[in-house]
Amino acid sequence: MKPSVLLWVLAGIACATVQAQTLPQTSKYSQKTLLKNWALSICLAQVAQDERTARDAGSTAGAYLEFGQQDLAVYDDLRALVAKYVALKYGGSVPSEFNTMKCIDLFHSKELDRITSKAVKTVRVR
């Protein structure tokens, strides 16, 4: 392989690595959105049926936490709310636990909105 081709290949790999590591949208989210996304991710991790999905959702929650500026106590409140929604019993015409629906309902709940609205009023200093 010619040195110039090798250089372009290596440059392409480096660019792909950087692009894969950046979180362009996450850094633009409001603190409230980050908290809501964290709660949704934790919910999805808890209802996941396989380890790979649970690990991915948990890692996603960790990424949202890194961008957050709230006191860590708010995450305890959110985790308790997630547990409440995960424990709900849903039914329908199709046999299912409807776990994804529980997490979506959590995301749109007034309780989550209340907790996150209150939390963003008291931002911790980094």
pLDDT at residue 26 tops 60: yes
Structure tokens at 119: 């939390």
For residue range 93-107, what is the model confidence (pLDDT) as tens digits?
A: 999 999 999 999 999
Cα distances (angstroms) measured from residue 94 to each of 66, 97, 103, 105, 110? 38, 9, 18, 18, 27
For residue range 36-92, what is the model confidence (pLDDT) as tens digits?
A: 999 999 999 999 999 999 999 999 999 999 999 999 999 999 999 999 999 999 999
pLDDT band, very low/low/confident/very high, at 125 (cuts 50, 70, 90):
low
pLDDT at residue 9 tops 70: no
Q: What is the pLDDT of residue 11?
A: 41
Structure tokens at 100: 């994804």
Domain 24-121 grouped into CATH 3.20.20.70? no
Structure tokens at 36: 């809501």
Are the CB atoms for 38 and 71 separated by under 8 Å?
Answer: no
Which residues of the chain form beta strands (DSSP E)? Answer: none
Burial of 110 (0-12, 13-18, 19+ CB in 10 A): exposed
